A and B are shown apart, each in its own frame.
Chain A
Amino acid sequence: MDITIHATSLPHDDPDASLVFYRDVLGFEVRSDVGQGRMRWITVGPAGQPDTSILLAPPAADPGVTEDERRTITEMMAKGTYGWILLATRDLDATFEKVQAGDTEVVQEPTEQPYGVRDCAFRDPAGNLVRIQELR
């Protein structure tokens, strides 16, 4: 078998705000953008890595999700306990400086962790935790 990780998804609650974060703040390219209003599916990813994407998707779009479940999901997103992703970069400090220069919410300054990695963390506009780890 030869399987690649093609795309993973993160929920948005304001597609335009998420687009600005992933495109303008993180510098990802936009690979597709379909739908309208809150029902938008936006595929982004780092330049030079066309095989791996993040799909920014409306949460709870599956019609099988009940009203209660939908409420729980949107509340978890708002309180920041729902979506998360782990990214990596060679130059953590430069990345941190660039990302925090906007009005991005910082959750953690670059920190040496006891389990052998150095990382920092931000919130995306939808409340997802975006942790960035240093490649070394």
Chain B
Amino acid sequence: MCQPELRRARVQAQRLADLARLRRVRDRIDREYAQPLNVEALARDVNMSAGHLSRQFRAAYGESPYSYLMTRRIERATALLRRGDLSVTDICFAVGCASLGTFTTRFTELVGMPPGAFRRQAAAGGADAVGAAHDAGSAITLEGMPACVAKQVTRPVRNREAPVAEQPLA
């Protein structure tokens, strides 16, 4: 192999190793979202600075690790709210959020209504009623869908925050 080719191969191998490292960070968020994770700690564990991790993560996945973590927490919160046996505050802490204010704000942005309203609606009409209010989930039946697909379908989507104008009166 000639020199430029060798160098290209080395650069590409390094790039794949970096991406695999980002994958481990993302998987760790998925697994440990309920822990008091923060970007500094995530970065430290893969020997990066917080700023570098955030930039690299965003370049690879289209959102910052903090945004990914909050989306994961809100996703889990919607699941717990549907159960109906836990208070909003309990759920906020159960999914790893330390601040009820931040939790409520981000939840409302992603889902289109505050967690309390979501919980009441889930209790009143079951998951379908909530699904109808949920931008992405409106026409989708999850019954019979492979779990991994259902998980992707029900996950709140960054940059697809529920439109404010369509926010139902709750």
Chain A residues packing against B (C-beta within 8 Å): 71, 74-75, 78-80, 84, 86, 105-109, 113-117, 119, 121, 123, 127, 129, 131, 133
Contact = CB atoms under 8 A, between A and B. Distances in A.
B165 interface: no
B148 A80 contact: no
Interface of B: 12, 15-17, 19-20, 22-24, 26-27, 30-31, 60-61, 78-79, 82-83, 127, 142-143, 145-148, 150-151, 154
A131 B15 contact: no
A111 to B, nearest CB: 8
Closest A-B pairs by Cβ, 4 of them: A78-B19, A80-B23, A114-B79, A115-B142
Given A107-B27, A109-B31, A114-B127, A79 B150 contact: no
Contacts of A106: 27, 31
Contacts of A84: 148
A129 B148 contact: yes
Contact of A108 (B23, B24, B30, B143): B30
30 contacts: A71-B12, A74-B16, A78-B15, A78-B16, A78-B17, A78-B20, A78-B23, A79-B20, A79-B22, A79-B60, A80-B23, A80-B27, A84-B148, A105-B24, A105-B27, A106-B27, A107-B30, A107-B31, A108-B30, A109-B31, A113-B151, A114-B78, A114-B82, A114-B83, A115-B145, A115-B147, A117-B150, A119-B148, A131-B147, A131-B148
A80 B16 CA distance: 11
B154 A114 contact: yes
Contacts of A114: 78-79, 82-83, 127, 154
Given A80-B23, A109-B31, A113-B79, 16 more contacts: A71-B12, A78-B17, A78-B19, A78-B20, A79-B19, A80-B26, A86-B147, A86-B148, A105-B24, A107-B27, A107-B30, A107-B31, A108-B30, A113-B150, A115-B151, A127-B23
Most A C-beta atoms less than 10 A away, residue of B27, B30, B61: B27
